[in-house]
Amino acid sequence: MYMAYAVFALIMFILLFNFFYVLREYERAVVFTLGRFWKVKGPGLILIIPFVQQIVRVELRTVVMDIPPQDVISRDNVSVRVSAVVYFRVIDPERAIIQVEDYQAAVSQLAQTTLRSVLGQHELDEMLAERNKLNAHIQQILDEHADAWGVKIGLVEIKHIDLNENMVRAIARQAEAERERRAKVIHADGELQASYKLLEAAKVLSQQGQALQLRYLQTLSNIAEEKNSTIVFPIPMEFLSIFKKD
In this predicted structure, what is the pLDDT of residue 6?
72
Residue 70's pLDDT band, with cuts at 50, 70 and 90, is very high
In this predicted structure, what is the pLDDT of residue 199?
75
Cβ atoms of 158 and 134 closer than 8 Å: yes
Report the candidate in 73, 79, 156, 61 with the shortest Cα–Cα distance to residue 116. 73
Instruction: Kindly state the helix (H) or strand (E) to which residue 226 belongs, with its residue range.
Output: none
Nearby residues of 144 by Cβ (< 8 Å), 6 or more positions away: none
End-to-end CA distance of the chain: 152
How far apart, in whole angstroms, are the C-alpha atoms of residue 156 and residue 112? Answer: 12
Report the candidate in 127, 121, 132, 124 with the shortest Cα–Cα distance to residue 174. 124
Higher-pLDDT residue of 199 and 75 is 75
In this predicted structure, what is the pLDDT of residue 110?
95
**Backbone angles phi and psi of 118, in degrees to 5:** -70, -45
Residue 172's pLDDT band, with cuts at 50, 70 and 90, is low
Higher-pLDDT residue of 194 and 172 is 194
Domain ranges in the chain? 2-59, 63-163
* pLDDT of 33 strictly over 90: yes
* pLDDT of 171 strictly over 70: no
Cβ atoms of 9 and 36 closer than 8 Å: no
In this predicted structure, what is the pLDDT of residue 190?
84
Residue 118's pLDDT band, with cuts at 50, 70 and 90, is very high
Residue 87's pLDDT band, with cuts at 50, 70 and 90, is very high
Enumerate the β-bridge partners of residue 83.
160
Higher-pLDDT residue of 199 and 36 is 36
pLDDT digits (tens, 9 = 90+) for 41-55: 989 989 888 888 999
What's the chain's Rg over C-alpha atoms? 41
Higher-pLDDT residue of 69 and 165 is 69
Q: What percent of the chain has pLDDT over 70?
A: 72
Average of per-residue pLDDT values in the chain: 82
Q: How many CB atoms lie within 10 A of CB 103?
A: 21
- Give the mean model confidence (pLDDT) for residues 93-99: 95
Bridge-based pairing of strands 79-90 and 53-59 is: unpaired
In this predicted structure, what is the pLDDT of residue 198?
72
- Give the mean model confidence (pLDDT) for residues 177-205: 78
The CATH architecture annotation of domain 63-163 reads 2-Layer Sandwich (3.30)
Residue 192's pLDDT band, with cuts at 50, 70 and 90, is confident
In this predicted structure, what is the pLDDT of residue 225?
63
Residue 158's pLDDT band, with cuts at 50, 70 and 90, is very high
pTM over 0.75: no
Is residue 212 classed exposed, middle or buried when 0-12, 13-18 and 19+ CB atoms within 10 A define those classes?
Answer: middle
Lowest mean pLDDT among 19-23, 94-98, 199-203, 226-230: 226-230
Is residue 3 classed exposed, middle or buried when 0-12, 13-18 and 19+ CB atoms within 10 A define those classes?
Answer: exposed
